Amino acid sequence: MRVFVDECVNRRFVRRLTGHDFTHISATSLRSTANGALLRAVAPDYDVFLTRDKNIPFQQNLKSLPLAFVILRARSNSLADLLPLVPGLPDALDRMAAAGGVKPGELHEIFPE
């Protein structure tokens, strides 16, 4: 799966992820783009939008976009708080793929174990 990683996710976290194609916003020209415009810009090229923004389902009409969303429910953006979520992310992405791919607006939240 092609996963776009929001700027509110520590980019060092992305280096720990394997098994899917992860692109952090810092590797693109989309830094500081507002959420609505950002989601429309990445939708044609990605399957999943990965963020720490737990309010995104209330701020955007997720079902209007051909993306699935994964929210990392870490206490902070520090690598130490994000690392416990590493095992849960590939599992969530693999479940989406096994179910026939992403469904528009599909939302998964990953909590620390």
pTM metric for this prediction: 0.93
The 10s digit of each residue's pLDDT in 41-58 is 999 999 999 999 999 999
- pLDDT value for 73: 96
Q: Which of 108, 104, 111 is nearest to 47 (CA)?
A: 104
Higher pLDDT, 58 or 97: 58
**Contact status, residue 92 vs residue 108, Cβ threshold 8 Å:** yes
- Would you place residue 90 in the very low, low, confident or very high pLDDT band (cuts 50, 70, 90)? confident
Domain containing 44: what range?
2-110
Question: What is the number of structural domains in the chain?
Answer: 1
Say which residues have a Cβ less than 8 Å from residue 76's Cβ, sequence separation at least 6: none
